[in-house]
Structures are given as structure tokens and as C-alpha cells.
Amino acid sequence: MPKSVLEAQAFQDEHAAYAWVESRVWPEGPICPHCGGMDRIGKLQGKSTRVGVYKCYQCRKPFTVKVGTVFEDSHVPMRFWLQAMYLLSSKKGISSNQLHRTLGVTLKTAWFMSHRIREAMRVVGFAPMGGNGGVVESDETFIGTVDGEGGKRAARARVRRAKKGRPGRSHKNAVLTLVERGGAARSVHIDGAAISDIMPIVRANVAREATVMTDEANHYYGIADEH
């Protein structure tokens, strides 16, 4: 039986995980993130020393390959970061809840990791979707729970509606997702599901020549006149 990709040494051994990341961040050898030096750098080898710590003897400061990356200021083992990146890169992705169960980390840690990885994967300065006359699907969903005092008020309102047999969804976060068939997907947090919430995002992200596939919700009224 073939082995799982996650059984590779870089996913299982902390030293191997650091070596894998270092070979990609520093292909020509370690670089001090503090002063930019490359010549007088040594790897600290003491028994009590953390994995992957180097010292620059020009500026006298220690550092690891985590500095300046999504791994910085994190106590999560590097091998878990690599496992999370692999799982999140799958075609269907993976939720923070599933990541928490798969890696055996807390839900808070899984959310922190997935948020950082997705932010690092975010495309900046992207072109409109469906630019070659492709098909873009648009839909919204409601997930999670709104935080803060507003969320508390919404939760109390939800309880009142539930007692009346009208559960509602005002306590949840609204998210709009655009998916280009055969291409990428983009998700945006929105304030609500009104025309004023939905259409500006569609206009900003979808090319005029694209075919837009939606449901029959009122907030998509008139979209056929633009796409």
C-alpha cells in the first residue's frame, strides 16, 4: 500500500521540517533578518537550544527561518504548519474545525493557522474573474457567530425568535463566494445579503463578458443587464 504524503519526514520530524523550510527560504544559506548579513552566521547547537536557531555574529542577534514568514511569533511546531499548508492546499480545502481534529491542536490554534495561511495565499492586484467569457458562480452563506456586543444582542434576538418559531440567522457572519469554473475562488465577508452588499463586490471582481450563475435571490436582480 502506498504511503500517505503526510508520512514524509518533513511532516513528522521537527528538524526535517525546519530543514525543508530553510532550503526554500534560504536557497543560498541563512540570511540574518535583522542586518541582512550572510557571512558570520552560526547555528546554535546546545541541548537546551530551540530547533532551528541561528546567531548572526555581525549584529549579535539570534533568529530562525520563521522571522518574516507566516510562522513568526508562533509556538506551533513547524511540522504542524507544513501539514496544515498541505491540507489547506487541497482542491476542496479544509475547515478550521477539521484542521483542529486532524492535527490534534486546539480550535483556536487551528483557526489562527488557517487564517495566516489563507492570508498568505491571498492574491493581490488580481484580474477580474471570467475575463475570457468564462462562467463565474456566485452565492452567499452564513457561518460562525458574530463576535462582540453586537453579537450578544444578535444572540439574544435569536433566542427570542426561536421561542416564536423563527430561528433567523442575524447572529452569523455573512460571506459571499465567487467561484470561476476551472479556476480560483474568492470569498469576501459582507455586512448582509442586500443588493447594496452583493453587487459592488460582483462588479469589482467579475468581468463584464463573464457568464454569472446565481440563484433567484432578489439581491441578484438586474445582474443579467451587466453580465
Q: What pLDDT score does 112 carry?
A: 92
The whole-angstrom separation of Cα 151 and Cα 168 is 13
CA separation, residue 165 to residues 6, 104, 124, 174 (Å) = 47, 38, 44, 22
Domain-located, residue 28: no
The residue segments making up the domain with residue 221 are 135-225
Q: Is residue 179 part of a domain?
A: yes
Do the domain assignments include residue 130?
Answer: no
Residue 193 lies in a domain: yes
In a domain, 64, yes or no: no
DSSP-derived secondary structure letter, 209: T
Report if residue 221 sits inside a domain. Answer: yes
**Do the domain assignments include residue 161?**
yes
pLDDT, one tens digit per residue, over 158-208 is: 555 555 554 455 556 788 899 999 888 888 888 777 787 788 888 888 888
Per DSSP, 126 falls in state P
Between β-strands 135-143 and 61-63, what pairing exists: parallel, antiparallel or unpaired?
Answer: unpaired
Q: How many domains does the chain have?
A: 1
> Which among 91, 101, 106 is positioned nearest to 182, based on CA atoms?
91
How many other CB atoms are there within 10 angstroms of residue 113's CB atom? 25
172 vs 222: CA distance, rounded Å? 27
**pTM exceeds 0.85 for this model:** no
